[in-house]
């Protein structure tokens, strides 16, 4: 299990070397299927995410079909509290979930330094984390596959932030 302070330090120093465009991380809470995590890693690489993560005891450890995990850092956190403690101090946590009071992603202004936490396909993010952080919802009446949801989020960010 990664040490929260060393992860935060590594991510902060990585971000400091970048220009003012910021950085982005994307991951899933309690992912159900390992192949979805592999697809999430691949999607993150395609859209230039700086890191990928999983949170929870179901531990998706699948690699991507193009071995994207060799060029994109992948972290796993056993608990949500360890994950939250590891987010860089200057990053903004954004929850992605089907929630009644969530902001429609089409109107959301993505922060420069964002960490997107996607809920599981067969459940939801805990309510307390969504109440403490921005929560966005994707258009549509039904949930998407987690890798597809990550694609929509990262594409929306790319369109709006350049």
* Chain-centroid distance, C-alpha 37: 11
Widest distance between CA atoms in the chain: 40
**If you count them, how many residues does the chain have?**
162
Assigned token pair, 58:
């179901």
Instruction: Please give the CATH architecture assigned to the domain spanning 4-8+21-161.
Output: 3-Layer(aba) Sandwich (3.40)
pLDDT tens-place string over residues 129-161: 999 999 999 988 778 888 899 999 999 999 998
CA angle (90 as vertex; 88, 94 as ends), nearest 5:
80
Local confidence band at 34 (pLDDT 50, 70, 90 cut-offs)? confident
More confident residue, 80 or 144: 80
Of 15, 58, 6, 11, nearest to 37 by C-alpha is 58
Mean pLDDT of 61-67: 54
What is the residue extent of each domain of the chain?
Answer: 4-8+21-161
């Amino acid at each position: 299990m990664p040490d929260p302070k060393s992860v935060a330090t590594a991510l902060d120093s990585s971000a400091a070397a970048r220009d003012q465009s910021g950085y982005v991380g994307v991951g899933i809470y309690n992912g159900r299927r390992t192949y979805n995590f592999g697809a999430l890693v691949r999607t993150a690489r395609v859209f230039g995410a700086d890191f990928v993560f999983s949170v929870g005891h179901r531990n998706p450890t699948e690699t991507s079909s193009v071995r994207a995990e060799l060029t994109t850092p992948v972290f796993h956190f056993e608990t949500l509290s360890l994950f939250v403690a590891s987010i860089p101090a200057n990053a903004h946590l954004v929850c992605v979930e089907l929630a009644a009071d969530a902001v429609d992603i089409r109107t959301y202004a993505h922060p420069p330094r964002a960490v997107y936490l996607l809920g599981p396909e067969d459940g939801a993010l805990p309510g307390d984390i969504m109440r403490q952080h921005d929560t966005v919802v994707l258009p549509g009446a039904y949930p998407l596959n987690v890798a597809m949801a990550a694609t929509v989020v990262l594409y929306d960010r790319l369109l709006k932030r350049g």
